[in-house]
Structure 1
């Protein structure tokens, strides 16, 4: 740690912050988090992980959790979401999974998102969906868990964009508003029920706090989801309320004054960074054994790609929506962490087609000179990743990193 003279703000080297970040997320494997209880603990710390339906080697949320929790299985997340309902689907940064205990505090986010949905319905010429909300709610109340295929109220139209049925648009609006909750998912198909049947009453309150109290909570929470952030627009500040830098600045001043977050200077970065106390208190001096992890494209530590590049000297772009001819690497490319460095990235074959974890392409970072020790640790991670996938690890994977 270094002290910045005359500023009253402590300074940290990039190596110190990298180590704290990986320990905070348990990506370094320092905590023996295992199975469903490990998921509970890491979700209690991070509060939110991003959901994305693309499934090549698991969905984004599964990839986030497997990097932090040993013996993780996608059923762990399913149980917490749709059996216990201790986690819930909802909009945070974007579509995310967060702790159900936070549901009440997200009421302001849901209000803002519901207004955005009305704008979308206006654009698509489907505002009549708002006229059948009571009818759709009555159907769900009578029939219980309901998917879009189970209900057909209002017009049906051929469309390649948006919902074909008004009842589907109404379900989506009621979900965004918080009157319905997702109670199951089969593939990408959502099933809904009345929120009061799903969310415990103890988690429904605290939505009546003042705007400043809400913003302080929401900004502190977003910092905790990553561990630390700077006050600079980017992916980590996406979502309603948080993209306004003036709003953030005032909230951060209040949070620093209340000692809920702490400013610090990151080596080589002019912007002031902010962290929760738990992050800065982490001890990383002891020798850590070698560790490799495959990181989700939308992992919390990847949310701000510019900050990621400043911290790790690693530039990453998710190219799934980039035309194939313009991609630098591949469709669904996964970064590889070795100790506290990003050393490579790879494109996997879709496991669902073969039942086998097979690497299509592998790219070492330009400044990396892999030795036998690095090869061994990465091969061990390949086997660990295969166990998470419940798939065989293709023999050629071991050779592709040579």
Structure 2
């Protein structure tokens, strides 16, 4: 176009002539579908680590199914992308970048960071993939009627090291300036409650501080006995 947005001030767009906004060296030609497919594949695999063809397509919907699959075949043939199969996934074919294997091999198994993830994090955004690879059943239910919710209004996945260990439903109580832990649901089979207590307490304090809240109240945990353990640790 003749004009482009140069900047914004107080939410107002400020326009200028295109030649004064867009440098002349920028390539504005339309890329062919092969280039688009290669770009989207790299974006998806950098975000997810490894993914099936459908999951690559679902990451950003800008190319047709046949385009992604054709470019994937070419990239596998030139070893720009690797094709692998995982155990316990019905022999499904996954794709990853060569550097991903190197990073995985170099990563220490002792990394036990505890994280609260957004429902829109790349690791969890594709729920079927999450269930298949991590055996973690998760959904965002803030748009689901309360009587039909399985877990809670705004459940956040809890990642400990390389395992999903719990779901947390937090709520900011602004009137009392408290972070309310409405529900903390540990995954079936989880047993390391003593080990997770300290890092979880630290994480919740950080989360409360991030949301400008002074205190934390634990309302419900599964298993029940962990509620008193956690509340005592947070004092």
Q: What TM-score range do you get, normalising by the shorter chain?
A: 0.7 to 0.9
Runs (5+) with no aligned partner, structure 2: 220-225, 231-235
1:212 equivalenced with 2:34 (yes/no): yes
Match of 1:262 among 66, 76, 82: 82
> Structure 2 matches for 1:276-355, cutoff 5 A?
276-282=97-103, 283-284=105-106, 286-350=108-172, 355=177
Secondary structure, aligned partner of 2:123: helix
Q: CA offsets per residue over residues 302-331 of structure 1, 9 Å max, x none?
A: 122111111111011111221222111122
- Stretch of structure 1 that moved more, 248-257 or 352-361: 352-361
Q: CA offsets per residue over residues 272-322 of structure 1, 9 Å max, x none?
A: 111122221113463424321101001011122111111111011111221
| Higher RCO, 1 vs 2 (CA within 8 Å, ≥6 residues apart) | 1
Measure the CA separation in 1 of the matches of 2:76 and 2:14. 40
Q: CA offsets per residue over residues 29-61 of structure 1, 9 Å max, x none?
A: xxxxxxxxxxxxxxxxxxxxxxxxxxxxxxxxx
TM-score, normalised to structure 1, is 0.48
1:251 equivalenced with 2:51 (yes/no): no
1:366 equivalenced with 2:159 (yes/no): no
Cα deviation for residue 352 of structure 1 reads 5.5
Does the 8 Å CA contact 1:309/1:315 hold for their aligned counterparts?
Answer: yes
The structure where helix makes up a greater share of residues is 1
1:392 equivalenced with 2:214 (yes/no): yes
**Coordinate RMSD, CA, aligned:** 3.4
Measure the CA separation in 1 of the matches of 2:20 and 2:151. 42
Measure the CA separation in 2 of the matches of 1:229 and 1:290. 24
Measure the CA separation in 2 of the matches of 1:233 and 1:395. 39
Cα deviation for residue 349 of structure 1 reads 0.8
Runs (5+) with no aligned partner, structure 1: 1-133, 142-178
Does the 8 Å CA contact 2:158/2:165 hold for their aligned counterparts?
Answer: yes
- Stretch of structure 1 that moved more, 295-304 or 352-361: 352-361
Does the 8 Å CA contact 2:80/2:97 hold for their aligned counterparts?
Answer: yes
> Residue 271 and residue 215 in structure 1: after superposition, are their counterparts in 2 closer, same or farther (change >3 A)?
same
Does the 8 Å CA contact 1:265/1:271 hold for their aligned counterparts?
Answer: yes
Per the alignment, residue 222 of structure 2 pairs with none
> Structure 2 matches for 1:229-244, cutoff 5 A?
229-232=51-54, 236-241=58-63, 244=64
> Residue 343 and residue 280 in structure 1: after superposition, are their counterparts in 2 closer, same or farther (change >3 A)?
same
The structure where strand makes up a greater share of residues is 2
Secondary structure, aligned partner of 1:201: coil
Cα deviation for residue 354 of structure 1 reads 5.1
